[in-house]
Structure 1
Amino acid sequence: MDDTGILHGLRLAPPSTTSWTPPPYAVRSRFTEQEVTVGTSPLAVPGTLTLPRKRGPRPGVVLLSGGGPFDRDETSGPNKPLKDLAWGLASRGVVVLRFDKVTHAHPDVVSAPDFTMSDEYVPHAVAAVRLLHRHPAVNAEQVFLLGHSMGGKVTPRVAAAEPSVAGLVILAGDTQPMHHAAVRVARYLSTMSPGPDIEAAIAIAAEQAARVDSPELSASTPNEDLPFGFPAPFWLDMRGYDPVSAAAGLDKPMLILQGGRDYQVTVDDDFARWRRGLDHRSDVTIRIYDADDHLFFPGEGPSTPTDYEAPQHVDPAVVTDIAQWLAPNRGKLTRFLPAAGHRRS
């Protein structure tokens, strides 16, 4: 649709007839699940706590999904990447908490005139961390955050708000300003389906991005003049946030992972910034998985949106590396351990 609300194109995709199936690395007999509530009324959200059957205090991790009104599994077509991670990590002895985003459970919050990225993530992420802290199955000194995409971008802000967080796992965390990335992604997609409609969409995206960069952007700038129709306070907050600087200011270990085939968050535009800002630190592990796309699904050739329509699972090497990094006995040597499918940056 253009900025006047006129529909220029419509594609009707057939409904998916394929249901999610567990990945091979998930061993269902090794864990149980229970429903929980994260946050307080009136914006509390439902979540799922995945508990290893093995007794004793275990490391715990809170999962944060990417930008958009995702459910707790980050459902994308027939795929559920956060459920893959939850079941894979729990099979390896990690307690995992995932929850529906407030924009999924309470979609009206997006229309609030002062809605920001912090409102979308921080209150419920902090509540989830504290829920794990109180749980008897969790080692309270080993509660971590794992964020994917925008969820990875915001993890340093959550950790600043909740200092008890033991460390961060950042999967395809974007560092390029989101309004710039939107133009870049539109241009990438235009190479696959060129035409006047996509060129018009690129022009509109570029115009809206320029408004975000403008010193004249204010809280009163109309939503319809800005990317995705998000309110100006959202963009003022986003414009002033540098996730790499925020992460550098934290005295916490980090695991930063990137898919080599990702066109949404890329090695050159986003991952390079994490590397420049943090690669000198001995407590930061940085890895690229050459075959993986934005959802860490392995594949070949250029990644496209249609790739997400086929049933897939998160790369087992990613799950194994995260589980080893979260393990209680992990040490500095883990940053040099080889694993199939990735390379040290």
Structure 2
Amino acid sequence: MRKVRSMIVIACVCLFLFSQLVSSEEGLKKKAETFLMHLKNEEFERAFDQFNDEMKKAMPPKKLEKTWNEVVFKLGELHSLGESGLLEEGGYQIVLQTCDFEKGRIDVKIVFDEEGEIAGLWFLPHLESHPYECPEYANKDLFMEGELIFGVKGWELPGNLTMPKKGKNLPVVVLVHGSGPNDRDETLGPNKPFKDLAYGLSSRGIAVFRYDKRTKVYPNKIDVFNLTVEQETIEDALAAIDFVRATDGIDEDRVFLLGHSLGGQLVPEIGGRDERLSGVVVMAGSARPLEEAILEQIEYIAKLDGKITKDEEREIERIRKQVRLIKEHKVGEEELVLGVPGRYWYDLQKRDPIKSALALNCPMLVLQGKRDYQVTWEDYNLWKEGLSAKKGVAFRLYSDLNHLFMGGEGRPTPEEYSIPNHVDERVINDLAGWILSN
């Protein structure tokens, strides 16, 4: 089960086109069930017939068969369908169907267009409902929280600003997410690391702005095949900086930028486009190409039980070949590889986080958990080596923290992400101390 969840998350970094969705609840649920039964029975042409025109272009029968076989390879045969629900995201109707496989349970997210045809498909880890509990190091009596709308025209996004009740001309931190269609809390299972950061820092006199990612709010508008991190991340982060700088109660000369994971990789470049920033924080930001990190994660998870089966080795070799194709620029710009088009990979290759960091004219803080198997301390060492001659850079390595900067013991596993936890208080205190001193 440890292998299963994370390999699916990594292998299914899915970005599909959507259309406007209107249909009856029971009708949509029945269509979702029929679609999954076609997959179970290997009737891929019949399943393909339920796609709309855009999905048919993105996922022809052979690609659909390959995707389903990857799921079955990791989870075993589909045994039964569990509960299903109809969701709305940005005004669109989505069926979330729980599926019980031989080796575990996942949620299949199926999106329907106004004609009742399938316009989007995800295979996701099954998430149990866990109400958020405020961490002990945060005190909600010390700050206010409100929802605000900001953003690039036509791509406005909702976000939350937490403001300490005491003090004037407050410092503020803008949080930048990792990869995927993240919400403002960067929710993963029962954990909400960005909410922890906001509540912890605002309990210590620092305002925090966090927001839903563009790919979450506008899945129907995103042109997947022309998507780069410019539209996915950078434009909205710059808009968020401008927005908080103009907000009452904020000191416009004390604006900080914090990025986690892919966000951590990109914040040096984002910071270089705003010379007024007071500081940049990299939390578990990769210093290496993303495709290398994905392959390394797959290999790590496969070895968790102490052995690699022949099927697992074949899957790893398949990923290796895809990584080589990306590196050798042998992927078409609109060809999906590792879940995203070639254009996205090639754009990301042009960006050098350490080079961007060296050009920054503001202080930097680099944080890393040593138990992080997604962005490892090899990346942390690359940051230290690359920035060794640069003044104004501080580093913190936490021996017992994982990718979410949450504590644990022993060898890190994907299962940790399904256990309710909070960002470690040491991280909150180190961040607060660094921000307030700059």
Whichever residue aligns with residue 426 of structure 2, its letter is: A
Q: CA deviation at 1:6?
A: 3.4
Distance, in Å, in 1 between the alignment partners of 2:219 and 2:329 is 30
Is 1:241 the counterpart of 2:351 in the alignment?
Answer: yes
Is 1:227 the counterpart of 2:338 in the alignment?
Answer: yes
Residue range with higher mean Cα deviation, 121-130 or 274-283 = 274-283
Q: CA deviation at 1:241?
A: 1.2
Corresponding residue SS for 1:168:
strand
The 8 Å contact of residues 162 and 209 in structure 2, kept in 1 or not, is answered as yes
Residue range with higher mean Cα deviation, 276-285 or 317-326 = 276-285
Superposition RMSD in Å: 1.7
Whichever residue aligns with residue 180 of structure 1, its letter is: E
Residue range with higher mean Cα deviation, 22-31 or 112-121 = 112-121
Whichever residue aligns with residue 258 of structure 1, its letter is: Q
Distance, in Å, in 1 between the alignment partners of 2:404 and 2:362 is 25
Structure 2 unaligned segments of length 5 or more: list them: 1-7, 12-62, 76-103, 107-125
> What does residue 319 of structure 2 align with?
205
Is 1:12 the counterpart of 2:12 in the alignment?
Answer: no
Q: CA deviation at 1:105?
A: 0.9
Corresponding residue SS for 2:225:
coil
Whichever residue aligns with residue 235 of structure 1, its letter is: W
1:1-345 equivalences in 2 (<5 Å): 4-7=66-69, 8=72, 9-10=74-75, 11-12=104-105, 15-193=127-305, 194-219=308-333, 222-223=335-336, 226-228=337-339, 230-268=340-378, 270-327=379-436, 330=437
Whichever residue aligns with residue 276 of structure 1, its letter is: E
Distance, in Å, in 1 between the alignment partners of 2:303 and 2:367 is 27
Task: Give identity over the alignment, percent.
Answer: 35
Distance, in Å, in 2 between the alignment partners of 1:177 and 1:287 is 22
Structure 1 unaligned segments of length 5 or more: list them: 332-345
Distance, in Å, in 2 between the alignment partners of 1:302 and 1:253 is 33
Whichever residue aligns with residue 314 of structure 1, its letter is: V
The 8 Å contact of residues 38 and 99 in structure 1, kept in 2 or not, is answered as no
Distance, in Å, in 1 between the alignment partners of 2:159 and 2:328 is 39
Q: TM-score, normalised by structure 2?
A: 0.71
Corresponding residue SS for 1:6:
helix
Q: CA deviation digits over 1:184-226, x for unaligned, max 9? A: 1100000125334432321121111111111444535x22xx2
Distance, in Å, in 1 between the alignment partners of 2:294 and 2:246 is 40
Distance, in Å, in 2 between the alignment partners of 1:290 and 1:109 is 42
Q: CA deviation digits over 1:133-175, x for unaligned, max 9? A: 1112111111010111001111012112222222101100011
Whichever residue aligns with residue 205 of structure 1, its letter is: I
Q: CA deviation at 1:110?
A: 4.9
The 8 Å contact of residues 75 and 81 in structure 1, kept in 2 or not, is answered as yes
Corresponding residue SS for 1:51:
strand
User: May I ask how many residue pairs the two structures share in their alignment?
Assistant: 324
Distance, in Å, in 2 between the alignment partners of 1:78 and 1:215 is 38
Q: CA deviation at 1:315?
A: 0.6
Alpha carbons of 1:187 and 1:252: their partners in 2 closer, same or farther (altered >3 Å)?
A: same
Distance, in Å, in 1 between the alignment partners of 2:410 and 2:222 is 36
Distance, in Å, in 2 between the alignment partners of 1:108 and 1:304 is 34
Q: TM-score, normalised by structure 1?
A: 0.89
The 8 Å contact of residues 297 and 313 in structure 1, kept in 2 or not, is answered as yes
The 8 Å contact of residues 366 and 394 in structure 2, kept in 1 or not, is answered as yes
